[in-house]
Chains A and B, each alone.
Chain A
């Protein structure tokens, strides 16, 4: 994907909104899928995606090709998602794991898209928001620990240990369920 988008289109997008919209369209599906996996909610995904787009446009002049453009975009989306969760948590003073109500909503959302709420999703939903994000970035998207640490603004050691303990927890619960 990255090869298709050269620095010329990024440089054009820095100066022109139409060029930016064309560039962003190429990454729309990629970001939508990522955010949907995290939120499992269509509305929230679309809101976060819109906010990601605006942040990306405003901060694009600062993009210095130190990472892939997709990595840069996913970092913005990740930070926005984590900030949003932090705000929500502060508002309703709930604990880190998903509430039954939220799970029900997720299941309903997935059913709308003809997707099943599998045992894996059930296990995944027992993890905290931050840990779910880390596991997804590490194991599904294959980002390195360093990249994830930069994205989530955490120390490398913290990322490593959180992923390790989450995997351990998933493995144990998987064994119990199986």
Chain B
């Protein structure tokens, strides 16, 4: 990697910053406390996400039932849409590494 003058001087500025900035490393107990709070927050956000998903699924299912009962061709369209939705959901979850 070639470094020109600008980058070299910028790196010197960063090195100086590294030397001068005071850092207080939290003790183990504080880290554990932060982890406990963070974990709770994370679980809460997961719960909200799941709740939102269930709500959306319920709304879609209601629409699905209403449509297939009243319109014949809607049955096939809805079948296709459902299959596509499941596939997209699986791909998204796979990207998040929640499923293999």
Contact = CB atoms under 8 A, between A and B. Distances in A.
B23 to A, nearest CB: 5
Interface in B23-37: 23, 25-26, 28, 31-32, 34-36
B40 to A, nearest CB: 10
Contact of A53 (B1, B18, B31, B41): B31
Nearest to A170: B6
Interface of B: 1, 3-7, 9-11, 13-14, 16-18, 20-23, 25-26, 28, 31-32, 34-36, 38-39, 41-42, 97
Nearest to B34: A50
Contact of A113 (B21, B34, B36, B97): B21
B1 A139 contact: yes
Interface in A88-132: 113-115, 118, 120-121, 123-124
B58 to A, nearest CB: 29
B7 to A, nearest CB: 5
Question: Would you call the interface of chain A mostly helix, strand, loop, or mixed?
Answer: helix
B10 A167 contact: no
Contact of B21 (A22, A33, A57): A33
B25 A124 contact: no
A139 B3 contact: yes
**Most central of A21, A57, A138 by chain B CB within 10 Å:** A21
A28 B31 CA distance: 11
